[in-house]
Structure 1
Amino acid sequence: MALSRAILVFSSLGLASAVPAQAQDPSAAEAVREAVSADYDEHLEELFLHFHRNPELSFLETNTAARMAAELRSAGLEVTEGIGRTGVVGMLRNGDGPLILLRADMDGLPVREASGLSYASQAVQAGLNGQEYPVMHACGHDVHITSLVGTARRLMALRDHWRGTIMFVVQPAEERLSGAKAMIEDGLYERFGTPDYALAFHVASALPTGKLGSTLGISTSTSDAVNLTVSGIGAHGAFPHAGRDPVYIGAQIVTALQSIDSREFAPLEPVVVTVGAFNSGTKHNIISDRADLQITVRANSKASREQALAAIERIAVNIGRAHGLPENMLPFMEVVEGTAEVRNDRALAERLNATLREAFGEDTLIEGKQEGMGSEDFGEFVTNELGVPGYFYAVGGTPPEAFAAAAAGGPAIPSHHSPLFKVAPRESITLGARSMVAAVLDLAAAE
């Protein structure tokens, strides 16, 4: 996930009532496990190490995209590059049946890796702003794209067992919450078809390896990055009446924004408005002529999202008016990044949760609930307007013994976006591929 946000924590082991899953032949499931494991040894491990050592920033994933395009072509797919700037689409057609979208995000983060891994990234890259940054796969997207290749190779080998078309989407810029929207706006569905189902997983450091996690409803919240510019009239700090102080005006805006959640929404409707940065001024005795606020806004529905954003603008503008700012200098709000919530289609989630339990064991899948208000732009592929049923789930990334060691006072489990972040690649990649294969074999089962 674009984890400036928390990754899902699945806190309940309760089993939901579920629709019957496509029967899973134990011998067939074992054959898939053995084949994916062998593929990891022969090909996927090297591929993962390449991606981990060579991460690229959002919308700059040119080498990653080229390698993914080559891998999908090698697996036998029809591949189109440059969708939504650096996105890649691979189509695997296998007769009449559903169109299923499988998505993996590929961008890294501007983080200097300090994991201590022998294959740690040393990469440095100029960002979209021209500034150089250290780059790291600090959120596991290298796991996602490697697993997607493994999924494609296995589904190609299993063509006799399913019918339909699989759309493999290699998405850029998830960390900027912009890549999915860019691919949709570039005509993804018009060019390749509107999917009957859309699936994605995220590796989770907070979930043990060998475990899967899912919700029956909302998984992640909407997210909007808001820049708020507060203009003022500069003056000497000793003569404040000669100007209009944007720091004072901005401070009142920050305080007033706290009323949005507490006074404008029902108590059980989750909304978060956080001011993460407030910058103004250059010297002790100078009243600045500008203050800049950076705000993150989270909600769990389109309506709440729009209401919260409108409230921020209304409050800021009218506090500016209350302080006598002329109309052409009132606070100005700009939403620079944003994404819809991820809400699993309940019927699809019940079906695939049952499928994954059948394939991997009753205690493998943890059915939980949303924890915190993290965000993930997979939701742009499955908005209500598009009408595509979506299923988003988690794949455990940290070995159980690491949790036991942490509980005994050992090293804490590194969070996503931390320079210490690391997951167990074999366990994560192979279970990710096997679970995707199991889902497709259910949804597109050959008659």
Structure 2
Amino acid sequence: MSRISPFKAFLEENTPDYKPYEEFYKHLHANPELSWGEVETSAAIATRLGGLSPDLQITTGIAGTGLIAVLRNGPGRTVLLRADMDALPVKELTGLEYASKKMAEDSDGSLQPVMHACGHDMHVTALLAAAETLILGRTQWSGTLVCLFQPAEEAGEGAQRMIEDGLYTKHGCPIPDVLLGQHVSFRKAGFTDTRPGLLMAGVDSMKITVYGRGGHASMPHLSVDPTVLASHIVVRLQTIVSREVKPGSLAVVTVTGLHSGKAINVISDHALIELSIRSVDSENRDALINAIKRIALAECSASDSPRDPTFELVSSIPAMHNDPATTDVINRSFSAHFGLQTHNPSCDVVPAAEDFSHLATAIGKPYCFWFFGGHDISDWEKRAEENRLDSVPGLHSPLFAPAIQPTLATGAEALVVAALTMLSGDKNGFEAQG
């Protein structure tokens, strides 16, 4: 049986006033920025970090908008805490007083509404609050703390680009002994969960261009309509998981975009299909991609397409595998601090993907990633009583809106508890023993 949380006294002594952080969160939420455009967000973070301690070594401009803050606090382990910063091209419908009304150009130059529909504003704020807590209590731990703020997680490129830009070389980030990250979820606020080993699926983003023969909308018999062709492909793709994947295996093939034509009276000469493909191992990944290509080629042949389709793999993120030993230690600390009723040490594998692991695998270091709930407690309980939990707005929904508290406190405490556990072990009494 775990003893009473050894972290309680530390947090009671060193946790800052959360009110300024709540206001900072509202500011971030109302002013979201798309991947690679996190200029104002990065500047706001740097300013806030600069006010925490003169001993923080802050490096900005990593892969554009990425930044790190390093606190060297004596001998010991080096622990990296990560938060992502970017938002999504989603129109916010929450009705909050601090709801986003921002518009921005996407990578194609199109003007889009922008929203923090994935909670990255909460990730940033929780890490800043955790950093201040650890700085205030620095006499009680020893080691090196690295706080990393990453751009373009939604694009699946941010972590890798920071590495390629010299994160661990020219930008001077100390090589961490362990890397820690988290993600707010649409679960009940105050709850945390993770699991050792496989935690999240890998994702491949693909674009398929199919070709027809354009013409007048009044004379389809003289054309090869790529919109009809693409529609057949979209429908047929739905059979891959249901008919070609072993039941019980985690696999997802989702068509996220179908674009064809710009004039209402013109049959286009091509159509674009955008796909999100999720799998948990290389064998299933290869099988999914091969099936997609086979179906697209066959449908193009059946429609008498003038040329074969083209396939573009836009991005690829591997499945996330938490280090078992690291996760075991953090699970014990979380269970001791948050309680066995609110921490789940063996959650289900999540079909969503994250590029956080690149930061660790690039240097061969262990990592642990976890989730913390964000949905309003009373609303969750009401929906549960009415058997309507499936109506809780999920990530990437225009209605996604974490309750600021206790979500922020839970996220900040989780980072502090995990950091103290890995920085000091049981040397200073911070590791919760089973």
Q: State the TM-score, normalizing by the size of structure 1.
A: 0.83
Name the counterpart of 1:377: 355
1:137-171 deviation per Cα after TM superposition (whole angstroms, max 9, x unaligned): 22221111111111111112222332222221101
Matched residues in 1 for 2:262 and 2:116: separation? 36
Contact 2:5 2:336 in 1 (8 A): no
Are positions 1:58 and 2:35 aligned together?
A: yes
Matched residues in 1 for 2:242 and 2:224: separation? 29
The alpha-carbon distance between structure 1 residues 290 and 112, as it changes in their structure 2 partners (threshold 3 A), is closer
Give, in angstroms, the shift of residue 395 of structure 1: 1.4
Worse-matched range after superposition: 297-306 or 162-171: 297-306
Q: Among residues 261, 270, 273, which one is paired with 1:293 in the alignment?
A: 273
Give, in angstroms, the shift of residue 351 of structure 1: 1.2
The letter of the residue matching 1:182 is R
1:225-244 to 2 correspondences below 5 Å: 225-234=205-214, 244=224
The letter of the residue matching 2:253 is V
CA RMSD of aligned residues (A): 3.1
Give, in angstroms, the shift of residue 72 of structure 1: 1.9
Give, in angstroms, the shift of residue 246 of structure 1: 3.4
Worse-matched range after superposition: 55-64 or 307-316: 307-316
The letter of the residue matching 1:359 is H
Matched residues in 2 for 1:240 and 1:224: separation? 35
Name the counterpart of 1:47: 24
1:387 partner SS: coil
Give, in angstroms, the shift of residue 213 of structure 1: 1.2
Name the counterpart of 2:397: 418
Give, in angstroms, the shift of residue 264 of structure 1: 5.4
2:40 partner SS: helix
Matched residues in 1 for 2:349 and 2:316: separation? 20
Contact 1:220 1:370 in 2 (8 A): no
Q: Among residues 110, 118, 123, which one is paired with 1:144 in the alignment?
A: 123
1:23-422 to 2 correspondences below 5 Å: 26=6, 29-33=8-12, 35-36=14-15, 38-41=16-19, 43-76=20-53, 77-190=56-169, 191-207=172-188, 209-234=189-214, 244-247=224-227, 249-251=229-231, 253-254=233-234, 257-258=237-238, 260-261=240-241, 265-281=245-261, 288-317=268-297, 320=300, 329-370=307-348, 373-383=351-361, 386-409=363-386, 412-422=391-401
The letter of the residue matching 1:444 is L
Give, in angstroms, the shift of residue 255 of structure 1: 5.2
Contact 1:103 1:170 in 2 (8 A): yes
Name the counterpart of 1:7: none
Contact 2:14 2:137 in 1 (8 A): no
The alpha-carbon distance between structure 1 residues 94 and 268, as it changes in their structure 2 partners (threshold 3 A), is same
Name the counterpart of 1:15: none
Give, in angstroms, the shift of residue 241 of structure 1: 7.5
Matched residues in 2 for 1:206 and 1:376: separation? 18
Matched residues in 2 for 1:276 and 1:109: separation? 14
Give, in angstroms, the shift of residue 256 of structure 1: 5.1
Give, in angstroms, the shift of residue 111 of structure 1: 2.8
Matched residues in 2 for 1:135 and 1:280: separation? 24
Give, in angstroms, the shift of residue 265 of structure 1: 4.7
Amino-acid identity (%): 37
Query: Structure 2 unaligned runs (5+)?
Result: 428-434
How many residue pairs end up in the alignment? 420
2:112 partner SS: strand
Give, in angstroms, the shift of residue 253 of structure 1: 3.8
Matched residues in 1 for 2:25 and 2:420: separation? 25
Matched residues in 2 for 1:144 and 1:430: separation? 11
Give, in angstroms, the shift of residue 433 of structure 1: 1.4
Matched residues in 1 for 2:24 and 2:370: separation? 23
Name the counterpart of 1:17: none
The alpha-carbon distance between structure 1 residues 271 and 348, as it changes in their structure 2 partners (threshold 3 A), is same
